[in-house]
Structure 1
Amino acid sequence: MNLEHYLPVNGGLRASILVAGLFLGAWLIGLLVQWIVQRVLHTLALRTRWVWDDVLLDHGVARWLARAVPPMIIQYGIVLIPGVPDRYDEGIARLAEAWLVFCMGMAVSSLLSGLDQLYRQGGPVQRQSLKGLVQLARLVVMIFTGLVIVGVVTGRQIGLLLSGLGAMSAVLLLVFKDTILGFVAGVQLSTNDMLRVGDWITLPAAGADGHVLDIGLHAVKVRNFDQTIVTIPTWKLMSESYQNWRGMVEAGGRRIKRALLLDASSVTELTPEAAAGIWPGEAATAYLQGQLPGLPDGRSGAGWQATNLGLFRTYARDYLERHPRIRQDLAVVVRQLPISGEGLPLELWCFTQETALAGYEAVQSDIFEHLLIQLPRFGLRLYQQPAGTDLRAIGAGMREAATTVPGA
């Protein structure tokens, strides 16, 4: 085709008009291709039950591939325009090729993001997170894309650019320190299955006590139970100790470990006749006969004496063993702790079937409320610090006693 016949102007102006037309045509064709691709893929996505086409469409993979059409037209069309100086021809071709490389790099990066979303949607929430690895892969893709673009624009080989980066390794290590630490920590967390999205973790040093929302290359997001979000550097989960409650959820039992503070002065000896009037159960009869559960022979030693506290401890254990919400295949223990200035602690150690907070607290409250109202039945009293009403009652009693003393 003889373009000079259709554009009878001088060479420089003709070349400029043709280059401008090439750019305009490439831009219009790019818009048309994007519109067609978006409409076709959107229609196919609506008619199929697959999820991957919707995800890739939402992440713009097809959009970036369509944007690669204009630079391809410019790169291969610029050589067909007569009268363009070689230096301009080569420069425009290089810029178009750099644009093409950038679009392809963004398409690959979007594809990786879409694959990560497909992975997270393809199974339960408690799956291992690959977001850190995907972010690292995207970073590598963008660095490689940048090197290729620099090499295309400058006309240098990538090997020479990489050799220059080797001389700057100390600077690169300093710049990407957090990225390297986060990548190493993410690999260890994922390989050892130490952390998953959805896990309940506790890290007091970072103020974290809630469920893991996201595991990234640089940070882990945790939603606390007060609905605040804490961001923790990924490497910090390897350098500091944290508590993961996943084992509790998988076991299906949440531990109750709480004590009743009893008044030690209310503990008394107990006769079989008195015990029969308090609690005439089989476990009470076994206790009065000196049969103590947990001992190898089930018998108490010499000098053993029944007490109202021991009977109440037996009652509490029997109550827990009969409770429908307590796991009987896990430990059920009622024990005394050392006496302190706060009274005589009687601790309950058991596991509920309810692991959710609301159900767990409901079962725990029900157990302790029942035991509290049983204390007077066994002749026991709770220990607590005197309240203001107690002090006023003591003062009123002292004043009343003083008024009844002769000569006062």
Structure 2
Amino acid sequence: MIQTENINNTTTEKAVTLKHWVFNKLTDYGLSEQAAEYLNMLILLIGLLLIIFIVDIVIRKILIGAFSQFAKRSKTNFDDLLISNKVPRNIAHIIPLLIALEFVPDVFADFYNFEIIIEKGLKVFAIILTLWIVRSVLHTIKDFLKTLPRLKDKPIDSYIQVFMIFAWLAGIMSAIAIITDIPFLKFLTGMGAISAVIILVFKDTILGFVASIQVSINDMVRIGDWITFEKYGADGDVIEINLATVKVQNFDKTITTIPTYALISDSFKNWRGMTNSGGRRIKRAVNIKQDSIKCLTASDIEKLKHIQLIKPYLEDKQKDVEAYNKNNNINKELLLNGRNLTNIGVFRKYIQTYIENHSAINKDMTIMVRQLAPTAQGLPIEIYAFSSDKRWVNYEYIMADIFDHVLAAVPYFGLEIFELPSSLNLKN
């Protein structure tokens, strides 16, 4: 027992000697004890800071070098992402921090109040450093998952942000508990009393988190989808999905930000179905003046037979009409009697045949030329088909090419396009 006490006393004496070695030297030179205490603390603090700085540089270079060498030999890009997200750099700060926590009591041995403040500050910094490391690792995981084909269009940002929110909340509560000297569990219990305020403050975050889960589970939106959200003026490609917002790059290159929870509370259009299908829909009409519509005479039919696309149709149809009228003794002195071909009907058949033979139209999808209800602007003849090429520029070119031809073909059938009169028409 006596030997053990002697060893403890010897250790204590060595520690005291280490703490006050500079102090003793300064007093030996004639400085007052108070001045020697302050100067002793300052010299030890500068020495500790230099040691921490050097150790930090050395450890950082060793860790980054080791990670870099390992990344070169590794086949996966995960370790490369660890380096780019500064994980080794942040981990390297741990050892200098431990050194600081170990030697701060020696530096501020004669200044207890300073020691308490510095130790609390270092512990708070330890919490912040932990959060930095966690954030770096989570960002690495996020970047890595986005390189996987199955997950690159998923809202991974939302989940990473949720983890970070919980981490920051835990870190903030731990820091407050350290500063106020309240045990963490007791502090956490007290936080339950203000949970309603926290829920109110983080309402949008909670809504965004729930929405992002529903969006992901129901596969409503992916990064890269073209969506149209009229309420928010969005019409373009989704470039980012995170906890609070969805960013859409419109076709005019502007960026529209939409609250994530709006995707489940409001109606929007996702064009993914069109993108994944075999074609892009063409749905447009030309308005025909109704007073230009008429029944065709035999001479009119003969003229239209010069149009190669509908010559077989006209010949077959003419035979059927003539046979019907003859069998039923129809009086054809009046053209309206019996069955007749009309210029609008033949024109509609011509467009149908033209679309069916167009090289840019998907023949496996719906092709239809239909007549809509008459309006004050004439009789709409609508083309409903799907272009094989879904790219916007090419799609617009195909549609324009079709309607260029259709508009030019209208006069050949004795029809006219409806348009409002211009000032020149009114003058005439």
- For these two proteins, the number of residue pairs brought into alignment is 383
Offset, 1:211 = 0.8
Alignment partners' CA distance in 1, 2:79 and 2:157: 20
Alignment partners' CA distance in 2, 1:385 and 1:5: 101
Tell me if 1:208 matches 2:208: no
Alignment partners' CA distance in 1, 2:284 and 2:206: 44
1:403 match = none
Tell me if 1:339 matches 2:374: yes
Alignment partners' CA distance in 2, 1:90 and 1:126: 48
Offset, 1:20 = 4.3
CA gap of 1:97–1:303, structure 2 versus 1, over 3 A, is farther
2:6 match = none
CA RMSD of aligned residues (A): 2.7
Report the structure number with the largest CA radius of gyration.
2
Mapping of residues 39-118 of structure 1, within 5 Å: 39-42=65-68, 44-45=70-71, 50-78=76-104, 83-84=109-110, 91-118=117-144
Residue pair 2:60, 2:93 contacting (<8 A) in 1 also: yes
Alignment partners' CA distance in 2, 1:29 and 1:386: 86
User: Sequence identity, in percent?
Assistant: 33
Offset, 1:245 = 0.6
Alignment partners' CA distance in 1, 2:316 and 2:382: 22
Residue pair 1:26, 1:73 contacting (<8 A) in 2 also: yes
Tell me if 1:321 matches 2:356: yes
Name whichever of 32-41 and 66-75 sits farther off: 32-41
Mapping of residues 287-302 of structure 1, within 5 Å: 287-288=317-318
Offset, 1:6 = 5.1
Residue pair 1:72, 1:97 contacting (<8 A) in 2 also: no
Question: Residue type of the partner of 1:53?
Answer: D
Tell me if 1:37 matches 2:63: yes
Tell me if 1:224 matches 2:254: no
Cα shift readout 1:176-220 (whole Å, capped 9, x = no counterpart): 111111111111111110011111111111111111111111111
1:348 match = 383
Residue pair 1:287, 1:314 contacting (<8 A) in 2 also: no
Cα shift readout 1:56-105 (whole Å, capped 9, x = no counterpart): 22222222111222221122334567945666555544432332222111
2:167 match = 141
Residue pair 2:19, 2:109 contacting (<8 A) in 1 also: no
Mapping of residues 272-283 of structure 1, within 5 Å: 274-279=300-305, 280-283=310-313
Alignment partners' CA distance in 2, 1:321 and 1:199: 30
Offset, 1:3 = 2.3
Structure 1 SS opposite 2:235: strand
1:401 match = none
Moved over 6 A (4+): none
Alignment partners' CA distance in 2, 1:256 and 1:162: 61
Alignment partners' CA distance in 2, 1:269 and 1:215: 59
Q: Using structure 1 for the length normalisation, give the TM-score.
A: 0.85
Q: Using structure 2 for the length normalisation, give the TM-score.
A: 0.81
Mapping of residues 245-256 of structure 1, within 5 Å: 245-256=271-282
Question: Residue type of the partner of 1:377?
Answer: Y
Alignment partners' CA distance in 1, 2:182 and 2:20: 39
CA gap of 1:118–1:391, structure 2 versus 1, over 3 A, is same
2:182 match = 156
Tell me if 1:369 matches 2:404: yes
Name whichever of 383-392 and 234-243 sits farther off: 383-392
Name whichever of 21-30 and 282-291 sits farther off: 282-291
Structure 2 unaligned segments of length 5 or more: list them: 1-13, 28-35, 322-336
Name whichever of 196-205 and 69-78 sits farther off: 69-78
Residue pair 2:374, 2:380 contacting (<8 A) in 1 also: yes
Please state which structure has a larger fraction of its residues in helix. Answer: 2
Residue pair 1:207, 1:230 contacting (<8 A) in 2 also: yes
CA gap of 1:331–1:303, structure 2 versus 1, over 3 A, is farther
Alignment partners' CA distance in 2, 1:169 and 1:215: 28
Alignment partners' CA distance in 2, 1:290 and 1:30: 96
Question: Residue type of the partner of 1:343?
Answer: G
1:3 match = 18
Tell me if 1:389 matches 2:428: no
1:309 match = 344
Structure 2 SS opposite 1:306: coil
Offset, 1:344 = 1.1
Name whichever of 121-130 and 373-382 sits farther off: 121-130
Mapping of residues 164-243 of structure 1, within 5 Å: 164-243=190-269
Residue pair 1:287, 1:311 contacting (<8 A) in 2 also: no
Alignment partners' CA distance in 2, 1:281 and 1:110: 73
